[in-house]
Amino acid sequence: MTNTNEVGDQLRLDLLREALPYIQRFQGQTFVVKLSGKATEDQENLSSLAEELALLHQVGIKICVVHGGGKQLSELASRMGVEQTIIEGRRVTDDATLEMAKMIFAGKINTDILAALRNRGIEAVGLSGVDGNIVHAERRPPKEIMNRETGESSQIDFGHVGDVVKINSRLLTVLLDHGYLPVISSLGADAEGTVFNINADTIAAEIAIQLQAEKLILLSDVDGIYLRAGEPETKLSRLTADEAAAMIKDGSATGGMIPKLQSIAALLRRGVHSAHILDGTARNALLSEIFTDSGTGTMIVS
């Protein structure tokens, strides 16, 4: 009669066997991993994530982390009494919000991630998109946005929100080639040094394209893409870029999922092999998605 320990050991060895071909396949490849604010706010969760990132790094995968921090920014704004406006998943950034974004993104969250990785023995380097001119951006012009409920359109000025003009990956390549793990916050600047708040998913996507990454992994507040929100049985394990575009068009993608799917569809057409959306708060979700056949989230392929 086998005891529980033997069964557990057998299971772990089977998982190692399953992981081996993936480790061999991805060694030396680059993964860009985007962390949501929700994934980084809880210290225990961040520590667990750092352990998973460290494991990927140790088996020879080049990891570049990008993070936003919308949740923490909203909380600080609420404490400071600064009203926030979010339209179709995008934040309107006024003067006060930009100052808070600099403090939260390039300061607190970036340092917290570095400390968690340091605890796992990883040599990580904290940067914002302004460092080394990584993210060259321009101010987003006012946009015509249609209110889906009323059907009426209006001009929206997003304030200090930037669009990525180009990514200068020289510094990132030097760091990755020398075994460092870059951690980049979602700020960028124009040639005059004007700083902008930029959607972290967009920065992660553009960096993934520039680095010719094998994968873009979005650790999100949701564990994948659903055909119908709130109905677990409608979760899609695999999706093509065309199907993602169709979900935006027919209205089945809503809120913050729209900019995510838009940037993913674009990046797959520009050379990144696959994108993954998974729950950034589920233990081992990252390892399971990369090293097992079944995965945990939604994989989007070109």
Quick check: 37 pLDDT over 90? no
Contacts of 162 (CB under 8 A, 6+ apart): 135, 137, 138, 139, 140, 188, 189, 190, 196, 197, 198
Quick check: 224 pLDDT over 80? yes
CA distances from 56 to 207, 216, 228, 296 (A): 19, 14, 33, 17
Q: What is the chain's alpha carbon radius of gyration, rounded to the nearest angstrom? A: 19
Quickly state the pLDDT bin for 193 (edges 50, 70, 90): very high
pLDDT digits (tens, 9 = 90+) for 77-113: 999 999 999 887 789 999 999 999 999 999 999 999 9
pTM of the full predicted structure? 0.89
Quickly state the pLDDT bin for 234 (edges 50, 70, 90): confident
Q: Is 228 exposed, middle or buried (0-12, 13-18, 19+ CB in 10 A)?
A: exposed
pLDDT > 70 in the chain, percent:
99
pLDDT computed for residue 164 by the predictor: 96
User: What mean pLDDT do residues 150-159 have?
Assistant: 89
pLDDT computed for residue 150 by the predictor: 81
The CA-based angle 109-283-254, given to 5 degrees, is 70
Give the domain ranges of the chain: 27-301
Q: Which residue has the higher pLDDT, 146 or 108?
A: 108
CATH, domain range 27-301: 3.40.1160.10
pLDDT digits (tens, 9 = 90+) for 103-135: 999 999 999 999 999 999 999 999 999 999 999
> Which residues share a beta bridge with 161?
197
- Please list, residue by residue across 45-64, b when 16 or more beta carbons sit within 10 angstroms of its beta carbon and e when fewer do: bbebbbbbbbbbbebebbbb
